[in-house]
Structure 1
Amino acid sequence: ASCLLVTHLSHQASLTLSSRTKTMVFVKPSKSNSYFKRYQVKFRRRRDGKTDYRARIRLINQDKNKYNTPKYRFVVRFTNKDIVAQIVSASIAGDIVKASAYAHELPHYGLNVGLTNYAAAYCTGLLLARRVLKMLEMDAEYEGNLEATGEDYSVEPTDSRRPFRALLDVGLIRTTTGNRVFGALKGALDGGLDIPHSDKRFAGFNKENKSLDAEVHRNYIFGGHVSNYMKLLTEDEPEKFNTHFSQYVKSGVDAENIEELYKKVHAAIRADPNPKKTVKAAPKAHKRYNLKKLTYEERKNKLIERVKALNGAGGADDDDDEDDEE
């Protein structure tokens, strides 16, 4: 019976194998064996989706006749809850960050909500521009565009020092029209940095007319698109408005005063772009349950004390014995 069972199972396996072979006979292999043998993996940061090395090489490549002059990049990155803007230069040892600004610093300037939208990106770029120029003592010479009108702006060089120049580094961000990265770019331009750019990707650019609608762009800079959505939800879906904009309601920000809020934030950034030091609470003293390890000197002193104590106790015993004999 066992032999018959084994024969039956082997016959079934051969039928299955033959059916698979028949179905796979017409499948042409797309990759040869040598392809996999010779395959070279990409750099780790490219596999992680962090660095575009093709763009990076072109951004950091410096003319040889400029010797050790750093080539600066205006780096903008977005996370779920933050915006990171940095002035970075490349060296053999690695990238060197000259200055940085973050969206989570904006509450110091009066903006507590909406820290990742287009208007917040503009504020972050403006903060970085004013900060790096103040660091270089060029903030009074290059004030930038004091009034954000939404029109394209490029800083003009003065008679003394040339403006601080940096190249926009977008990483692997899709450079679509109206992307937030261009909001940060506009903030840095209005802040007084010299960044080669075109107005084709700013919010409000019309592809057919090939012109920038400054009013639409200004609307985005001052959070007008957020204001319009707040009005829409207030009329159509009040319940969704209360959940979607709960932090706005809690902070007292509504569709009417949002533009004034951003104007105050821009003025506060220009008044004092220096980074604020956060006061951290002292760490709580934890109770120790095990003995602390003694140093060599402490162990040596402890041993000497024990020897002295033993000698003292031995001398006292000898005196007692002498008294007993007397």
Structure 2
Amino acid sequence: MATGPRYKVPMRRRREVRTDYHQRLRLLKSGKPRLVARVSNSHIRAQLITPGPDGDETHAAASSEDLAEYGWEAPTGNLPSAYLTGFLAGTRARRAGLDEAVLDIGLNTATPGNKVFAVQEGAIDAGLEIPHNESVLADWSRNRGEHIAEYADQLDEPLYSGDFDATNLPEHFDDVLERLQEDA
């Protein structure tokens, strides 16, 4: 490890690879609430957060685990569940009185078609105004999970070991999205 008078120890959350303070400052200067999208292999989380003098305040939140209330039976870490989680977070934000936000992807890489952009697209379709570039959003067929269904058709054995038939994922996505829209 470097030592000496010129060495600067990074802040703790930067050392833990949890916060990019330069990006956070740029987002806070916008003056808009942040749509914080966090992705893991098994779940998706979306929160609408505003900064405050006593810490950040969460106005609306949704997790892919919440989709079970609307009949979601498929795994919760894929692109369709990311879109639905963003849609659910967007509807909850609209109920809380928020109508605009900026996307905060944290330390995720901004790859076109990524799950964080599916969360953003879901929130936009729910009625939030979020500045974005159309080229980073995934095709609607990928948001519906058609690529997963095509892959499941190619396999000899059922995907997900009988828990859920992945070949029906696009239809299942449409059903759950319809339930979310009715609840909105």
Residue correspondences, number: 184
Query: For the residues of structure 2 that align with 1:71 and 1:188, how far apart are their CA atoms?
Result: 15
2:160 maps to amino acid: F
Q: Check the 8 A contact 2:82/2:119 in 1, yes or no.
A: yes
Q: Check the 8 A contact 2:148/2:166 in 1, yes or no.
A: no
Q: Check the 8 A contact 2:86/2:120 in 1, yes or no.
A: yes
Give the 5 Å matches for 1:66-105.
71-105=32-66
Does residue 245 (structure 1) correspond to residue 160 (structure 2)? The answer is yes
Q: 1:56 is matched with which residue?
A: 24
Partner deviation per Cα, 1:40-86 (whole Å, 9 max, x = no partner): 11111111111111100010015xxxxxxx63011100123211100
Q: 1:269 is matched with which residue?
A: 180
Q: 2:151 is matched with which residue?
A: 229
Please report how far the alpha carbon of residue 232 of structure 1 lies from its aligned counterpart in structure 2 after TM superposition. 1.6
Partner deviation per Cα, 1:110-143 (whole Å, 9 max, x = no partner): 112221111110000000111121233xxxxxxx
Q: 1:175 is matched with which residue?
A: 110
Match of 2:70 among 93, 104, 109: 109
Q: 2:140 is matched with which residue?
A: 218
Please report how far the alpha carbon of residue 37 of structure 1 lies from its aligned counterpart in structure 2 after TM superposition. 3.3
RMSD over aligned Cα atoms: 1.9
Q: Check the 8 A contact 1:223/1:259 in 2, yes or no.
A: yes
Give the 5 Å matches for 1:157-172.
164-172=99-107
Q: Check the 8 A contact 2:47/2:58 in 1, yes or no.
A: yes
Partner deviation per Cα, 1:181-207 (whole Å, 9 max, x = no partner): 11111101111000000012122xxxx
Please report how far the alpha carbon of residue 233 of structure 1 lies from its aligned counterpart in structure 2 after TM superposition. 1.5
Please report how far the alpha carbon of residue 250 of structure 1 lies from its aligned counterpart in structure 2 after TM superposition. 2.5
Q: 1:24 is matched with which residue?
A: none
Match of 1:193 among 114, 123, 128: 128
1:45 maps to amino acid: R
Q: Percent identity over the alignment?
A: 34
Q: Check the 8 A contact 1:71/1:90 in 2, yes or no.
A: no
SS at match of 1:183: helix
Please report how far the alpha carbon of residue 260 of structure 1 lies from its aligned counterpart in structure 2 after TM superposition. 1.4
Larger relative contact order (CA 8 Å, sep ≥ 6): 2
Q: 1:124 to 1:245 in 2, by over 3 A?
A: same
Please report how far the alpha carbon of residue 272 of structure 1 lies from its aligned counterpart in structure 2 after TM superposition. 2.3
Q: 2:93 is matched with which residue?
A: 132
Q: Check the 8 A contact 2:102/2:131 in 1, yes or no.
A: yes
TM-score (structure 1 length as normaliser)? 0.53
Q: 1:156 is matched with which residue?
A: none
1:53 maps to amino acid: Y
Q: Check the 8 A contact 1:87/1:97 in 2, yes or no.
A: yes
Q: Identify unmatched segments of 5+ residues in structure 2.
A: none
SS at match of 2:51: strand
Query: For the residues of structure 1 that align with 2:182 and 2:63, how far apart are their CA atoms?
Result: 17
Q: Check the 8 A contact 1:177/1:200 in 2, yes or no.
A: yes
